[in-house]
């Protein structure tokens, strides 16, 4: 395949007639019949331009109603743009609305055959791939039941299984990781990692910034139907989180642990050898060691997420063991240890919260969080959050 983009959007816009009152529908129909633009319209998307090159992974982030799902529908051809153009090439696999692409009256097996035909897979090739699809979906006898009898999670299982077997050049997915049981979500994350490592291209919509940063290298932040920022995934997502934090006026922007699923629990957090949950003081420039024990109910190694938050709620820094490819140290009986050292601690004097979170082994879900107050002491005339290495140079230096 040539080096041109798989997706090229230029000036995309999407608008709908406003049908909030009794006479709006008739008025909109009359405007269409007369070839006029509807008098009352809602601008869902405006002036959206971007490209997705082969091998890239692009995330679309933003609040509910920002236009993320509408943008994916324009890219996949489900909707036509009101203005602008979108061009795609290569094979595309899309997982959008639940059930999209499946006929509810047909069985899962018949829907697989139909989907395979649409992807250009012949009967002989499908016969070879069918066991793989059955194993990935893992829905048992329901494969031969009508799809209308499926739960939402089963529909996603079957849809993702088809995509995994087809391995399209471009995968477009909308919040698929938010549906389905825990084990299947882990399977999807592992497959996406392998897909991207093998040169696959991903266009992802997700509200999980952790997964956005884990799976994607670029991001677009949509706000009010327009692009607020696009570029490097960390820069864009951090700007988005900062805006969210400002809107919440100092409220804690923490993803809540999953209720009823205490598979991973932060058992203890010691800071510079001080156990418990009380506040500790550390001098600026000294070393800070975070010694953490996490209990895993199923005995599988967890992921530890570290986060620094200023007393007013401003995020300062975060990193996980999965990001740095650091394995947990097994202590036995489902207990795992992590030791993270900041040496020197370059935070400026002030009050902070050191946040320790336990995630599953794929970094898919957050299960438990423990905060400890940390006071950074010392004398500093600088302002801000951290001391950055710097040097002053004289004239001619």
- Listed by start position, the domains of the chain span 7-247, 264-377
What is the per-residue pLDDT for 251?
47
pTM for the model stands at 0.65
What is the per-residue pLDDT for 290?
95
The CATH code that applies to domain 264-377 is: 2.70.50.60
What is the per-residue pLDDT for 397?
56
DSSP string, 81-109: -SEEEEEE-S-EEEE-STTTT--TTSBHH
> Residues in the chain with pLDDT < 70?
1-3, 17-41, 97-101, 176-182, 245-246, 248-262, 364, 396-397
Whole-angstrom Cα distance, residue 176 to residue 306? 26
Architecture of domain 7-247: 3-Layer(aba) Sandwich (3.40)
Whole-angstrom Cα distance, residue 116 to residue 151? 22
What is the per-residue pLDDT for 257?
47
What is the per-residue pLDDT for 92?
87
Q: 9, 48 in Cβ contact below 8 A?
A: yes
* DSSP 8-state class, residue 134: H
Q: Is the omega angle on the peptide bond into residue 344 within 30 degrees of 0, that is, cis?
A: yes
Whole-angstrom Cα distance, residue 311 to residue 352? 5
What is the per-residue pLDDT for 10?
94
What is the per-residue pLDDT for 27?
58
């Amino acid at each position: 395949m040539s080096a041109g983009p798989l997706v090229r959007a230029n000036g995309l816009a999407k608008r709908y007639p406003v049908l909030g009152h009794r006479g709006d529908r008739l008025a909109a129909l009359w405007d269409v019949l007369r070839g006029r633009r509807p008098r009352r319209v809602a601008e869902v998307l405006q002036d959206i331009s971007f490209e997705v090159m082969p091998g890239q992974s692009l995330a679309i982030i933003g609040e509910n109603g920002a236009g993320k799902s509408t943008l994916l529908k324009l890219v996949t051809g489900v909707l036509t743009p009101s203005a602008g153009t979108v061009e795609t090439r290569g094979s595309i696999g899309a997982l959008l609305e639940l059930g999209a692409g499946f006929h509810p009256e047909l069985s899962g097996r018949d829907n697989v055959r139909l989907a395979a035909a649409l992807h250009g897979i012949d009967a002989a090739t499908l016969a070879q791939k069918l066991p793989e699809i059955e194993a990935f979906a893992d829905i048992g006898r329901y494969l031969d039941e009508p799809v209308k009898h499926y739960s939402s999670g089963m529909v996603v299982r079957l849809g993702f299984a088809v995509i995994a077997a087809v391995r399209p050049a471009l995968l477009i997915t909308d919040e698929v990781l938010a549906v389905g049981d825990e084990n299947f979500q882990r399977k999807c994350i592992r497959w996406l990692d392998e897909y991207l490592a093998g040169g696959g291209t991903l266009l992802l919509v997700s509200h999980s910034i952790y997964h956005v940063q884990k799976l994607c290298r670029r991001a677009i932040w949509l706000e009010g139907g327009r692009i607020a920022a696009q570029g490097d995934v960390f820069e864009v997502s951090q700007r988005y989180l900062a805006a969210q934090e400002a809107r919440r006026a100092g409220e804690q922007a923490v993803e809540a642990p999953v209720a009823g699923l205490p598979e991973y629990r932060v058992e203890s957090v010691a800071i510079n050898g001080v156990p418990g949950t009380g506040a500790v003081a550390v001098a600026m420039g000294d070393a800070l060691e975070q010694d953490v024990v996490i209990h895993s109910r199923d005995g599988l190694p967890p992921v530890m997420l570290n986060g620094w938050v200023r007393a007013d709620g401003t995020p300062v820094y975060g990193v996980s063991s999965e990001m740095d490819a650091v394995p947990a140290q097994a202590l036995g009986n489902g207990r795992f240890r992590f030791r993270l050292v900041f040496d020197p601690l370059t935070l400026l004097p002030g009050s902070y919260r050191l946040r320790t979170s336990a995630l599953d082994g794929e970094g898919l879900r957050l299960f438990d969080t423990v905060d400890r107050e940390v006071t950074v002491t010392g004398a500093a005339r600088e302002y801000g959050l951290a001391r950055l290495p710097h040097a002053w140079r004289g004239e001619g230096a």
